[in-house]
Structure 1
Amino acid sequence: MQYTRLGRTGLRVSRLCLGTMNFGPQTSPEDSFAIMDRALELGINFWDTADVYGWKLGERITEKIMGDYFAQGGGRREKVVLATKAYNKVGEWPNEGRLSKLRIKKGCEDSLKAMKTDYVDLFQMHHIDRDCPWDECWEAMEQLVREGKVLYIGSSNFGGWHLAAAQENAKRRNFLGLVSEQSLYNLNARTVELEVIPACEHYGLGLIPWSPLGGGLLGGILQKPTEGRRAGIKLDEALTAKITAWEALCAGMGEKPADVALAWLLSNKIVTAPIIGPRDTAQLDGSLRALEIQLSAETLKKLDEIFPPVGKGGPAPEAYAW
């Protein structure tokens, strides 16, 4: 396994992040345990979850599966850089969602209880809360850090200016602030290249791409169109042409489309670890091939032709202005 630092921190994490969203809804607890065992065998130490995974309001199904796994002991919890998130509704009462000080505090403590652990390595704000002032968010996070319940803070689904606002406020408070941003990023979704990636570079944040295969779009959909999440994807004529060219390019390389899609993300120096969401151990094992693929400049150019970046490419404003 390859490892890298998480943003500007000294924390070392695996170049692939184990996503657990399937644990419960798609993958049984027993199979989830097998995937987590295999992840540790492979050296994947970076695991991501969220308080709403399991998709039954307030039940924290995925976090509880992970908690039962950690409770077995054997150093399981100690080997993992554990990341979870808070923002979405976990109940019907007014303060059971978003990012008030109350929600952050209770959300963290409820996650700790569900996962049967004393601390979370990376506690992420799952979305920007435009109604909550940064002083309130950071006051809550600072308290959790002082209490030893949280080690690092991350964000998810933030815009570039949200990252800047958060970090400038944290700086005024002499607080470390954010160390990572988790964003939608793949060959077919490159909007973050405009503002988010430049902000991550400027502030020293690691980028953790979610949906690196575009919900199955980049995983060989023309070969197995009804498998897993691919079944819900509708291809129009333009998208079919793109995916046909994409899968032909991968075939010419002798590589699986999913592996090339991950390798493309890993070739970006700002990317810490794409989140992979295996439904079984075979899928997990298969993901490791991406770490070995080196994309040539010619291949990267071809990928830009198939999946053009936004505007002229690169950061804003140059991507759309002189």
Structure 2
Amino acid sequence: MQYAHLGRSGLKVSRLALGTMNFGDATDEAAAFAIMEAAVDAGINLFDTADVYGGPQSPGMKQGYGLSEEIIGRWLSRGGGRRDKIVLATKLYQPMGLGPNDKYLSAYKIRRAAEASLRRLRTDHIDLYQMHHVDRSTPWEEIWQAMEQLVREGKITYVGSSNFAGWQIATAQSEARARNFLGLVSEQSLYNLTARTIELEVVPALRHHGIGLIPWSPLGGGLLGGVLKKSENGRRVSAQTRQTVERHRPRLEAYETLCADIGAEPADVALAWLLHNPVLTSVLTGPRTPEQLTAGLRAFDVHLPDDALKRLDEIWPGPGGEAPEAYAW
């Protein structure tokens, strides 16, 4: 396994991270335990979850809320040094109930959400506490005061963000610096060959502030995992997926041809392309089986020569570079 610093922090995490959104939903507890054991055996130490993972993530549909954290907590409670082998990351923001303060990032919500996650995870501290989305109605003075209090109490160690815009990252860091607080060390963003918008402003902001990038949906919802070949082999796909495939068919055909030319599986190429980015700290994968987890490790063996990188840019063009040069002289 390869490791990298989490942003500008001294903490090292595996360049593949274990995403657990499927735990309790598509993946039952026994399979989740097997996946976590396989992850540790493979050297993966960054485990990522969220308080809402485990079932429907909509207000009023509480079945499954917190289940992913609970499954991880029961696995950790088995002992054997499991807690010390992983960097445990979770998130808050989304509704955990129907009350007016059961969502977002008020100091009231941050304190209650952290305590609840600690109980479900059966641990005394969270290594990386991430804001699942930006809260436009809560001032940064309030957010950072609440996070600082959790750090002082030893309940969290680092703070991260998810789905932030570049200017929001810059604002957060400016406010943190004024308080002599470390601020953000990581950002989770939607990023893959089919979704490259963050190259405009988020990636430059992360690079400037020394914040690690942790992409989610690295396979573009399955599009980059060899969807054409799988469908030809009889794999069933949803009607929505079929529509998406048809919309992107020329690009998908060119992409899977490129992968065949370099002798690599499409999913491995997609992960290898992300790992090629120096701003990236770790790629967030969400395996449903131990076999899928093991397959993801092949990406480290994929070498993308310059001509392959050029072809990938031609097939899946980005926004044209960084702002403002991407759209202005």
1:151 CA displacement = 0.3
Say whether the 8 Å CA contact 1:23–1:29 is kept in structure 2.
yes
1:231 CA displacement = 6.4
SS of equivalent to 1:124? strand
Aligned mates of 1:77, 1:236 — CA distance in 2: 41
Cα deviation per residue 1:245-300 (whole Å; 9 max; x = unaligned)? 00111011111100000000000000111111111011111100101212111110
Change (3 A) 1:132 1:59: same
SS of equivalent to 1:235? helix
- Number of residue pairs matched by the alignment: 320
**Aligned residue type for 1:297:** D
Aligned mates of 2:116, 2:237 — CA distance in 1: 30
Q: 1:178 aligns with which of 180, 184, 187?
A: 184
Q: Which residue of 2 aligns with 1:144?
A: 150
Task: Give the alignment of 1:1-322 within 5 angstroms.
Answer: 1-56=1-56, 57=62, 59-225=65-231, 227=235, 232-233=240-241, 234-235=243-244, 237-310=246-319, 313-322=320-329
Aligned mates of 1:68, 1:42 — CA distance in 2: 21
**Aligned residue type for 1:46:** L
Q: Which moved more, 1:222-231 or 1:3-12?
A: 222-231
Aligned mates of 2:77, 2:97 — CA distance in 1: 26
Aligned mates of 1:231, 1:118 — CA distance in 2: 44
1:229 CA displacement = 7.4
Change (3 A) 1:211 1:109: same
Say whether the 8 Å CA contact 2:21–2:286 is kept in structure 1.
yes
Change (3 A) 1:133 1:289: same
TM-score (norm 1): 0.97
Say whether the 8 Å CA contact 1:217–1:230 is kept in structure 2.
no
Aligned mates of 2:154, 2:147 — CA distance in 1: 11
Say whether the 8 Å CA contact 2:5–2:13 is kept in structure 1.
yes
**Aligned residue type for 2:73:** G
RMSD: 1.3
Say whether the 8 Å CA contact 1:215–1:229 is kept in structure 2.
no
Change (3 A) 1:314 1:292: same
Aligned mates of 1:319, 1:117 — CA distance in 2: 46
TM-score (norm 2): 0.95
1:228 CA displacement = 8.1
Change (3 A) 1:285 1:236: closer
Cα deviation per residue 1:43-75 (whole Å; 9 max; x = unaligned)? 000110000001252730100000000000001
**Aligned residue type for 2:318:** P
**Aligned residue type for 2:324:** P
1:227 CA displacement = 5.0
Change (3 A) 1:71 1:236: closer
**Aligned residue type for 1:71:** S
Aligned mates of 1:100, 1:228 — CA distance in 2: 43
Aligned mates of 2:292, 2:238 — CA distance in 1: 15
Say whether the 8 Å CA contact 1:216–1:230 is kept in structure 2.
no
Aligned mates of 1:141, 1:230 — CA distance in 2: 41
**Aligned residue type for 2:177:** K
Say whether the 8 Å CA contact 2:223–2:245 is kept in structure 1.
no
Aligned mates of 2:144, 2:236 — CA distance in 1: 39
Q: Which moved more, 1:210-219 or 1:232-241?
A: 232-241
